[in-house]
Structure 1
Amino acid sequence: MTITESFVELTTTRGPMRVHLFAPAGNKKYPAVIFFSEIFQVTGPIRRMAAALSGNGYLVAVPEVYHEFELAGTVLAYDQAGSDRGNELKYAKELASYDEDARVTAEYLKNHPQSTGKVGSYGVCLGGHLAIRAGFQPHVDAVAAFYATDVHTGSLGAGKSDDTLAKFGDARAAFFFVWGRQDPHVPLEGRKKIADRLNEANVDFEWHEFNGAHAFLRDEGPRYNPSLARVSMDLLLRFFSERLG
């Protein structure tokens, strides 16, 4: 499937937010997905992951998560300086701003002329946590979170204090989780804490663990696992097909 790439500037109370769009060419309608990036924003690997999903029949929107701090189009490098800046901003940004970004993007996608009106969220690392929180928005029906950070510690955003685990009690969306068992950011006790909370809250979810490192989907750097990436994509496409149509 041929896709197109473009971007729009959406309005938030904290300034404009650039959102990168990946869409199948033509005038047909497709389910829409918000794809939340790592702390490095819209890098080459993130763009390729977004394009791969779009090529399977989805309208994909990738927000720049640090739009109130960085110039539009800013990409942080996969090096120590980029990691330091990304982690600094992760804890500088207010939780309410993360949630507003998700709401604004979901509303935009629901009403997009190429959208069926069905909206999902998908994310990796920081973006996995943001995808989960997007699932608490009224327009988001399905959530796919890969190795989501800061969930078990409740430490996302300014003040390092979030209510994500508590919000699962009111969750309406279906959730899909993928974890790497060798991921130091989400150790066994952290994964167990999340799973226990999901079961306690009677959340509609599925759970997958692989022998993989953190960021094993990223096709750049030593942690990339192409075999797990292929398996994960198949699982993701099946989940979104069932939940978004």
Structure 2
Amino acid sequence: MSETLTITTPDGDFSAYVARPEADKAPAILVIQEIFGVNKVMRDICDGLAAQGYVAVCPDLFWRIEPGIDITDQSEAEWKRAFELFNAFDVDTGVNDIAATIAAIRAMPGVEGKVGAVGYCLGGLLAFLTATRTDADAAVSYYGVGIEKHVGEAEKLNHPLLMHIAEKDQFVPPEAQQVILQALKDHPQIEIHTYPGRDHAFAREGGAHYDTGDAAKANALSLAFFKKALG
């Protein structure tokens, strides 16, 4: 069952896609978009999490640029638009919008207990920053781009964080991965899994670099992580 949630901020309102489980009350997971907006890939992730027993919420984080972005990774024109949106996006403001979404989720009817977050690509960076800057109870980052610039924020981490890193990620070069691993591998709240031979977005179903086996492995690890962290 899906619905729309409206989040109110001092700068205006924006919307989020919501998928609900069969249970009347459940913990929640905030799903943080890639650079393609709240598209079918993100909605399907929400629906899958709802089937696992979570209230899943995916906010429209590009609303300040253009509300309602819903594009794919299947054409050159869409990729061009996606990178335009990525370059226009303000990460710090985006994290503030995520914090506002978490507050709205906690107040939703049917949400009981903890609120986690999972993000992909741009959302992978935002999931890391959600873990360090908000009151989210747990977070999962898939192939986050730009995390190496923010590793110092891990000292603020009070809740568990799971990270999936593609070793052949074209957007996270080896030197960036080395910075991330060296800074975070011994952090008591952080669990990191790396995927040899995998490129960026290996878990994006239908994408050019999708890998069935490693996507299934990463997703199983994420579900086990959330079950432990959120109940």
Q: Same fold, TM exceeding 0.5? A: yes
Does 1:30 pair with 2:26? yes
Instruction: Give aligned-pair identity as a percent.
Output: 27
Structure-2 separation of matches of 1:168 and 1:176 = 12
Partner of 1:208: 193
Q: 2:114 aligns with which of 97, 114, 118?
A: 118
Q: Contact 2:31–2:118 (CA<8 Å) still a contact in 1?
A: yes
Contact 2:185–2:192, Cα closer than 8 Å, also in 1: no
- The whole-number CA distance in structure 1 between the counterparts of 2:82 and 2:9 is 21
Letter matched to residue 15 of structure 2: R
User: Offset of 1:26 from its aligned partner?
Assistant: 4.5
Instruction: Please state if 1:60 is matched with 2:56.
Output: yes
- Distance, in Å, in 1 between the alignment partners of 2:184 and 2:154 is 7
2:159 is equivalent to residue 173 of structure 1: yes
Q: From 54, 72, 81, give the equivalent of 1:77.
A: 72
Q: Deviations over 1:191-229 (max 9, x none)?
A: 1211222247x3411111113121111111321111222
Structure 1 runs not aligned, ≥5 long: 155-163
**1: CA distance between counterparts of 2:6 and 2:107?**
15
CA distance, structure 1, for counterparts of residue 170 and residue 20 of structure 2: 35
Q: SS of the counterpart of 2:158?
A: coil
Provide Cα deviations, 1:112-155, integer angstroms capped at 9, x if missing partner. Answer: 22112301110110011111111124421111000001112x3x
Q: Structure 2 counterpart of 1:231, which letter?
A: K
In structure 1, the partner of 2:96 is 100
- Residue aligned with 2:140, SS: strand
Residues 1:187 and 2:173 aligned together: yes
Cα displacement (A) at 1:90: 2.2
CA, structure 1 residues 132+25, in 2 after alignment: closer, same or farther (shift >3 Å)?
Answer: same
Listed one character per residue, the Cα deviations across residues 155-180 of structure 1 (whole Å, up to 9, x for unaligned) are xxxxxxxxx32221111121101111
Note closer, same or farther for the CA distance 1:87–1:12 as it changes in structure 2 (3 Å cut).
farther
Gaps of 5+ in 2: none
- For residues 62 and 185 of structure 1, what CA distance do their matches in structure 2 show? 23
Q: Note closer, same or farther for the CA distance 1:186–1:203 as it changes in structure 2 (3 Å cut).
A: farther
Displaced runs of 4+ in structure 1, greater than 3 A?
none
SS at 2:43 equivalent: helix
Q: Does 1:6 align with 2:8?
A: no
- What residue number does 1:244 align with? 230
What is the match of residue 87 of structure 1? Answer: 83
State the distance in 1 between where 2:193 and 2:214 align. Answer: 11
- Structure-1 residue corresponding to 2:145: 149
SS at match of 2:101: helix
Residues 111 and 117 of structure 1 are in contact (CA less than 8 Å); yes or no, is this contact kept in structure 2? Answer: no
Corresponding residue to 2:220 among 219, 227, 234: 234
Q: CA deviation at 1:243?
A: 0.8
Aligned to 2:20, the other structure's residue is in SS state strand
State the shift of 1:11 in Å: 1.2
2:207 paired residue number: 221
* Matched-pair contact (CA < 8 Å) for 1:12–1:100: no
Separation in 1 of the partners of 2:84 and 2:117?
Answer: 24
Aligned residue pairs total 229
